[in-house]
Amino acid sequence: MPFDSFPGSSLALSTRMAGLHSSAIRDLLTLTSRPEVVSLAGGLPATEMIPAERISQAATRALQDPRAVQYGETPGWAPLRETVAAWECERIGRRVETDEVVVTHGSQQALSLLAQVLLDPGEAVVVEDPGYTGALQVFRAAQAQLVPVALDENGMDTAALERVLASGLRPKLVHTVSNFHNPRGVVLSAPRRAHLAHLADRYGFWIIEDDPYGELWFGTPAPVPVAAHSDRVIRLSSASKVLAPALRVGWLHGDRRVCEAVELLKQGADLCGSSLTQQIAAELLGDRPWLSGHLDTIRTVYSGRARALLGALEGAFGDRIAQASVHGGMFCWIEFTDGTDTAVLLEAAVGRGVAFVPGSAFALGSGHAHGARLCFATNSAQTLNEAVARLAAAHRALG
């Protein structure tokens, strides 16, 4: 339901709330939390891949330091900022200073604070279509004018972006999920990364490179980040998909002035992040031998699950769906070629004990009615097979 009024009351909400809708995915997660429903809907890392034992050891160690239970510095626990600076430096291939990093409450908070730092109401923001709903929510709340640019198997169509720029659009920023896109699963190709950065320099806009999935590659690592090509890029990443979402540790890295402005707003948002979970994240992300073994395990398990899901879909639906190969991340995107409306299919599917997110949830307008995002990370291969059998039964029942 849109938040445009309090029925029967003269108390008003801000104009910012007008037209905002609750995320379809959030609503869906509530609906699909029933134990009999296999959910391919959420973007949940596999619980058994979360290193609970290692987190517990790090927590015990951290708690011996009284600073772990106190308020901390707003831009983050200094050793974690240093670890993140080293991590980002390895990825973008140039030196990153600690004061170019702000640790946030998940990378979602980085998105939200950046929208406040960078955007005035009515300014144009280019988003991918289909796009990450969490980003769409944030930019809508900032009262930005959202301009969709399509994606294909090589990520955002930067030639299409160039055409809109040439026709006069002057966006304040462009948001892209460059690696293993949510929801499309695709990777922005190396030439398009360079092209996007070139367009940012030429037309003068910020890029938010939103990259929580980059480490979850299956065969070969993703190309160097867009941030390697331009200093107009603010890179976001997170411990959620590699350690645990519950740590709520994410970060942004980029222009020092932007970091200072984010810090200022973060003071008002939450004073500081959790000192305890930041200390835990600093220990785990800083322990390179352990981390590389841990990431290898996640990559092996997730790639096996992706293969299982794609194989089961192929067996059950054949050419009634188009699906792209998956090279990493947590999601696969399918498109029904037989005209199936996936919002209608979802209702039938939930009735048969399986859930997914219909493509329309990620659309800016009325598009992607035949698309669907399926998360392969959360469930075992056996459960994924069962989920596809249920989905096929729901599809047959629709006739």
Residues found near ligand PMP in the complex (CB under 6 A): 43, 106-108, 132, 134, 177, 182, 210, 212, 238, 240, 245, 250
Q: Which residue is nearest to ligand PMP (CB)?
A: 106
Which of 80, 69, 131 lies closest to 104, judged by CA?
80
Q: How far apart are CA 323 and CA 31, in angstroms?
A: 26
Contacts of 74 (CB under 8 A, 6+ apart): 263, 266, 267, 271, 272
Q: Which is nearer to ligand PMP, 141 or 348 (CB)?
A: 141
CB of 242 to ligand PMP, least distance (A): 10
Q: Which is nearer to ligand PMP, 209 or 283 (CB)?
A: 209
Which of 55, 16, 60, 23 lies closest to 42, judged by CA?
23
CA angle 178, 183, 185 (to 5 degrees): 60
CB of 348 to ligand PMP, least distance (A): 26
CA dist 97 to 26, 179, 238, 275, Å?
Answer: 36, 24, 18, 21
Token match 């990620």: residue? 362
CB of 1 to ligand PMP, least distance (A): 23
CB of 4 to ligand PMP, least distance (A): 27
Residue 235's H or E segment, with its range, is strand 233-238
Q: Which is nearer to ligand PMP, 143 or 238 (CB)?
A: 238
Q: Which is nearer to ligand PMP, 107 or 379 (CB)?
A: 107
Q: Is the preceding peptide bond at 7 cis, omega within 30 degrees of 0? A: no
Q: Which is nearer to ligand PMP, 182 or 275 (CB)?
A: 182
CB of 240 to ligand PMP, least distance (A): 3
CB of 110 to ligand PMP, least distance (A): 8
Q: Which is nearer to ligand PMP, 185 or 223 (CB)?
A: 185
